[in-house]
Structure 1
Amino acid sequence: MTEPVRLSKRMSELGLCSRREADEWIARGWVRVDGAIVSELGSKVLPHQRISVERQASAQQARRVTVLLNKPMGYVSGQAEDGYKPAVTLVNAESRWKEDKASQQFHPSQLRSLVPAGRLDIDSVGLLVLTQDGRIAKQLIGEDTAIEKEYLVRVQYTKPGRLPEADLKLLNHGLSLDGKKLLPAKVRWQNDDQLSFILREGKKRQIRRMCEAVGLKVLGLKRVRIGRVTLGNLPPGQWRYLGSDEKF
C-alpha cells in the first residue's frame, strides 16, 4: 500500500508549481483531484490520483516573470545584509537592457516575490536568475537539479611554478567540502590565468574553497551560463526577461 502524501508536495513533485503556489491554489479552490475540487490545506493524495488545475491558476502562472541580471560586485543575491543592497534593487525600468527582445512591459508588481534562483556571492559577478515562477526555482535549485552552471575564474597560483596536472584532476573530481564528496565537475584552463568551471551543484563559496584546496587564489569569478541560457552581451548592472523560447 503506497502512503498518501500532501497534495502540495505531490504537485511540486509533478512540476506543476512550487509548494507555496500549490497551497495558494488549493485555498482558492483552483485544484481538482480526480475531478473534484479540493480546497482544504494539508489534504493528502495517493500517487495514482489525477491532479488538475483550473484555468485561473495557469493564467496566474503565465503572468509570472523570470529576469536575467548581470550582477556587478558589491550586491548580495538575496536579502540585504551588512549595508549591502540586494541584487533585485537593480531591476527597474531604467536598467532594462535596451536590446531585450521580450514583448513584456516592466511593471513594479513584477518585483513582488521576485527571488533569486541560486546565489552569487558579493565578490562574484555575472548571470543571476530572479524569478516569480516556483517551477523555475525548483528546476535550478531543487535537490535533484542536474542543470550545469558555467563560471570563468581568474586565479593566481600561490606556490612556486605552475598548478600540477594532478591538482587540476582533483578539481575535476576527488575534492570534499564539509565532509561530503563533491559531484564531478569540468575544470580546464581557458588561458594562462583563467579556468573554466562547469558545476552541477552550488555549495556556499564552492569554487573559491575548491581553488584554496589546491593552492589557487581566486582573483575574479564570473558566471556566464546556466543550463542553455548564457549571459551573452548583457551589460553589468542591466537585466532582461527570460524569453518565451528560452529554456534552462
Structure 2
Amino acid sequence: MPTRPSDSTDPIRLDRRVADLLGCSRADAQQYVEGGWVSVDGDTVEEPQAVITTQRVEVAADARLEATEPATMLLNKPEGVAFESTPALVTPSTQAEGDVSGVRRLKRHFHRLTPLVPLDAEASGLVVLSQDGRVWRRLTEDYASIEQEFVVEVSGELAPYGMRRLAEGLSYQGRPLPPCKVSWQNEIRLRFAIKDVRPGQLRHMCREVGLDVVAIRRLRIGRISLSKMPVGEWRYHPVGEKF
C-alpha cells in the first residue's frame, strides 16, 4: 500500500493521514490503524488519534479491513502467583511459540485484562484472562455449571471409603458439596472433574479423607484445556471458540 512522508508540517491525526493516503473513509482508516496495519517511521501505531507531522506513514501491503476484537488469553500460571496478579505475566515475550490461534498480536491486547475463574495462589495451571464481555459473562454467570479438571498430588494414607466421600460425601464452608468425578491418575495423583469449586476447597476435601496436598494443577475449564503449554506462557483463545 502507499507510503510517503507528508508534504505539510501542520499537525494531523493519523487516521486522517491514512484516509488521505488510501482515499478511504475516516472510519475505514481508523480500522486500519486499530488493527495494527499502520506504521509511523517504521513503528506500528495503533491509536487513530495520534498526531503526526512530517513522519513517513506506511500501511501494510496485506492490510485487511476487519473489526478489532477484544482479546482473550489462556495462561499456564506458575505456583506462588496470586490470581489477581496474573495479568502482569501476559506480555509479548511470554507468548507461547506453539500458539496456532491465528490471532494477530496487538499492543492493545495487553491492556485491561481481567482474570476469570479463580485459582489458588499455590496452584498452577490454566487461567483465563479477557477483555471480552461475552467471555466474562459466560465464565462468571455460568461458573457453577462449568466443569473444571484438576490433578492434585497428595501424600498420606487415604481414609476408608475416602474415594466415595470425595465424590459425593463432603461439605465445605457450611454447605454440602455437589457430586464430582474423582479417580487415581497414579499412586500419588488424584484427578478431579468438578464444578463450582471454591478457593481452598480441594485442599479441604483431601484433608477430610486423610490426605495432604502437595501440588494442584488445573488442566481444563469447560471445553478448553491447557494442552502442553509451558508454565508461565500464554496463548490466544480465538474469538467465538466456546468454553
TM-score, length-scaled by structure 1: 0.67
Structure 1 residue 220 corresponds to structure 2 residue 218: no
- Could you tell me how far 1:245 is from its partner in structure 2? 6.1
- Could you tell me how far 1:188 is from its partner in structure 2? 0.8
Structure 2 counterpart of 1:138: 137
Residue ranges of structure 2 left out of the alignment (5+ in a row): 1-65
Mapped partners of 2:182, 2:206: distance in 1 = 11
Structure 2 counterpart of 1:190: 185
Structure 2 counterpart of 1:169: 164
**Residues 1-55 of structure 1, C-alpha deviations (whole Å, 9 max, x = no match):** xxxxxxxxxxxxxxxxxxxxxxxxxxxxxxxxxxxxxxxxxxxxxxxxxxxxxxx
Structure 2 counterpart of 1:72: 78
Q: How does 1:32-181 map to 2 (within 5 A)?
A: 63-78=69-84, 86-142=85-141, 145-157=144-156, 162-164=157-159, 166-181=161-176
Structure 1 residue 205 corresponds to structure 2 residue 211: no
2:74/2:234 contact within 8 Å kept: yes
2:183/2:191 contact within 8 Å kept: yes
Give the CA RMSD over aligned residues: 1.8
Mapped partners of 1:172, 1:189: distance in 2 = 12
- Could you tell me how far 1:203 is from its partner in structure 2? 1.0
2:117/2:143 contact within 8 Å kept: no
Residue ranges of structure 1 left out of the alignment (5+ in a row): 1-58, 79-85
**Residues 195-235 of structure 1, C-alpha deviations (whole Å, 9 max, x = no match):** 00111112111101111111110001100111111100111
Counterpart of 1:114 in structure 2: which amino acid? L
Structure 1 counterpart of 2:232: 237
2:159/2:209 contact within 8 Å kept: no
Please state whether the residue corresponding to 1:94 is helix, strand or coil: helix
Mapped partners of 2:90, 2:143: distance in 1 = 29
Structure 1 67/207 Cα, relative in aligned 2: closer, same or farther at 3 Å?
Answer: same
Tell which structure's C-alpha radius of gyration is larger.
2
Per mean C-alpha deviation after superposition, the further-off stretch among 98-107 and 119-128 is 98-107
- Could you tell me how far 1:165 is from its partner in structure 2? 5.1
4+ residue runs over 3 A deviation: none
Structure 1 152/89 Cα, relative in aligned 2: closer, same or farther at 3 Å?
Answer: same
Identity among equivalent positions (%) equals 37
Mapped partners of 2:191, 2:148: distance in 1 = 11
Mapped partners of 1:145, 1:74: distance in 2 = 25
TM-score, length-scaled by structure 2: 0.68
